[in-house]
Amino acid sequence: MKYVDEYRDGTLAKQIARSIATAVEPGRRYHFMEFCGGHTHAISRYGIEDLLPDNVRMIHGPGCPVCVLPVGRMDDAIRLAQNPGVTLCTYGDLMRVPGSDGASLLKAKAAGADIRMVYSTLDALKIAEAEPAREVVFFAIGFETTTPPTAVAIEIAAKKDLTNFTVFCNHVLTPAAIRAIMESPEAKRGEVLLDGFVGPAHVSTVIGTAPYRFCAEQYRKPVVVAGFEPLDVMQAILMLVRQVNQGRAEIENQYIRAVTPTGNEKAQALVARLFEVRPSFEWRGLGEVPHGALKLRDGYARFDAENRFGIVTQKAEDNPACECGAILRGVKRPADCKLFGTVCTPETPMGSCMVSSEGSCAAHWTYGRFRQHATARAARDQVLA
């Protein structure tokens, strides 16, 4: 397949692995965070860490919108769905995310709530048109990538004068999360060592590369925006190693086949027309993130579920035994959690990192990278020989 198969070429992977091994400096350690869950899955699926030198460590970031949704917002959605007049439309990943006291949308649906899984915002619009007697609420989540489709749905609803369609908005902003990571207590105490970031590709197709400049200018940390294929990620790691060696902190674009410095300006204008930045928004694992999310502008308040149903989020705590928060901040790895692989698996998830298809715990479990294979390093050394 064009633009896929060539980025999974084993011969090229070996060449890049050798280039990384040659580029790293003995006695120096490199710590890079891949922000996006798509990168985490690529790293686990293709065994990229097994090809890296021992002094290069990949740290998993909070780049999964399902994972970072706080318990309080899940509780809001569950209560909303339990309203007899409401049809809640949501993506499948959200159905099993735990709320307070073990509640979930899946359990609420089993108890009789009208919750329907959809593939897009347009599916929710079709339901609202077909069932005018129901209050249809679309449970909107995601980073900058999925915000434009939500905006399109709202504009269509406005043109059609749909009075029974609203959006429960949980769209969050990537640059704000990166800043929160750099400002976290663990980062300031040196408990989370970060030398650079592998930047999210799909987000950057919308916002471009310019919004990450603060990371290089203020924190002196390089960012390389990368695609999701294994060679994309490996090339980005090589680019980061070279920047660190040269004392540079720049924003580089590995994903030139899809990302530009300015991004999709039409999509940006659409989002700016309908949404504004919230002063603060809670992220699971990061706490309150200043300017970390979006809400609908007053001109579109009639499509805001928070406004129509008077939703006031009550802060709720995660399962105290679950380490999702620490994993999302890069403080711990999935296998560090005592629940991982025991009571917590994709079939019986205790936390959002195991529920989501992009969650780091799900990636580690699915591809078995948490296991200590005695032959892993030997295989790498043979590849690099």
pLDDT band at 381 (very low <50, low <70, confident <90, very high): low
Asked if 334 and 327 count as a contact pair (C-beta separation under 8 A), the reply is: yes
Give the model confidence (pLDDT) of 307-351 as tens digits: 999 999 998 988 889 999 999 998 999 989 999 988 898 888 888
Query: Looking at per-residue confidence, does 180 or 358 come out higher?
Result: 180
Q: Taking a C-beta distance cutoff of 8 angstroms, is the pair 55, 24 a contact? A: yes
CA angle (106, 76, 151) in 5-degree steps: 95
Does position 377 have pLDDT exceeding 50, yes or no?
no
CATH number for 1-385 (one of 3.40.50.1370, 3.10.20.600, 3.40.50.11740, 3.40.640.10): it is 3.40.50.11740
Average pLDDT, stretch 272-284? 97
- Which pLDDT value is given to residue 374? 38
Q: CA-CA distance, 139 to 76, in Å (whole number)?
A: 10
pLDDT at site 383? 52
Domain range annotation of the chain: 1-385
Is the pLDDT assigned to residue 385 strictly greater than 90? Answer: no
Any idea which residue has 């994972």 for tokens?
67
In this structure, of 76-80, 325-329, 347-351, 370-374, the range with the lowest mean pLDDT score is 370-374
∠ at Cα 29 (24, 31), nearest 5°?
100
Per-chain mean pLDDT for the chain: 92
pLDDT above 90 for 282: yes
With the CA atoms of 33, 246, 19 and 369 taken in that order, what torsion angle do they form, in degrees rounded to the nearest 10? -20
pLDDT attached to residue 380: 46
Question: Is pLDDT above 60 for 20?
Answer: yes
| Cβ atoms 144, 173 nearer than 8 A | yes
Q: Is pLDDT at 102 greater than 50 in this prediction?
A: yes
43 pLDDT band, cuts 50/70/90, is very high
- Measure CA 1 to chain center: 26
| 371: confidence class by pLDDT, cuts 50, 70, 90 | low
What pLDDT band is residue 367 in, cutting at 50, 70 and 90? confident
Label each residue of 114-142 as H, E or C. EEEECCCHHHHHHHHHHCCCCEEEEEEEE
pLDDT surpassing 50 at residue 77: yes
Q: What percent of the chain has pLDDT over 70?
A: 95
- Cβ(222)–Cβ(240) below 8 Å: yes
216 in Cβ contact with 243 (< 8 Å): no
